[in-house]
Amino acid sequence: MSDVVLQIDGRAVNAKKGMTLLEAARSAAISIPTLCYHEKLEPYGGCRLCTVEAEARGSTKLVAACLYPAEQGLMVRTRSKKVDKIRKLILELLLAHAPLSEELRRLAGEYGADRNRFEKEPSFCILCGLCERYCAEVKGKNAVGLINSGARREICFIPEIASKDCTGCKECFPLCPTSYLQAAFVLVDGLMFHQ
């Protein structure tokens, strides 16, 4: 693996070939907010909160830092008017679904997002997919699944697997940015496992 040197927020950062911009930034203690990223999971690119500006050969584009590769000579800006505007909008949209999420509220404060900009449609899950992917990729269990499509998409516990494997695990619980997962488990636990 050879090294590449790129600039992040004006600093020269050494990265290994194959690293993403997020990994390169974090290796240099430069923080980029994420909601659907986890270092043990395959990149997903769902939330776009990690959007940054990447400039190469005079052209600048907005990219998801958790997916975009660290390239030689790239100039990356993790904060700019454009980046902050996108993050603010994403947070406002997500807050309509999960208005009580402490993590979203904290980020809203940082990016000046209006928690009441959009009409509330509380589904409480923001479909980051962390729970489902962690269960499948790290635990190899598939006890949590995403069902339906479009606006009706939601996570659910698969009772036959969850009743055997979840009680002693719950490793996905602290990953959930909204606490919906815990509530969903309490519900399914009460309904399915103790009949």
**81-97 and 102-111 helices, crossing angle to 10°:** 150
The distance of closest approach from Cβ of residue 164 to ligand SF4 in the complex, given in angstroms and rounded to an integer, is 20
Tokens (6 digits) for 73: 């000579």
Report d(CA 67, CA 95) in Å as an integer: 24
Whichever of 32 and 166 has its CB closer to ligand FES, that residue is: 32
User: Which positions lie near ligand SF4, rule CB under 6 A?
Assistant: 125-131, 155, 175-178, 180-181
87 forms part of the interface with ligand FES (CB under 6 A): no
Per-residue binder mask for ligand FES (CB under 6 A), 56-85, x = binder: --------x-x-------------------
Please choose, from the candidates 181, 193, 177, the residue with its C-alpha nearest in 3D space to the C-alpha of residue 100.
Answer: 177
Whichever of 19 and 125 has its CB closer to ligand SF4, that residue is: 125
- 43 φ, ψ to 5°? -55, 145
Please choose, from the candidates 25, 81, 40, the residue with its C-alpha nearest in 3D space to the C-alpha of residue 175.
Answer: 40
The distance of closest approach from Cβ of residue 47 to ligand FES in the complex, given in angstroms and rounded to an integer, is 3
Report d(CA 74, CA 194) in Å as an integer: 56
Residue 64, H or E segment: strand 59-64
Among 35, 90, 130, 135, contact with ligand FES (rule: CB under 6 A):
35
> Binding partner of residue 143 among ligand SF4, ligand FES, none, CB under 5 to 8 Å per kind?
none
Residues that bind ligand FES (CB under 6 A): 34-37, 45-50, 64, 66
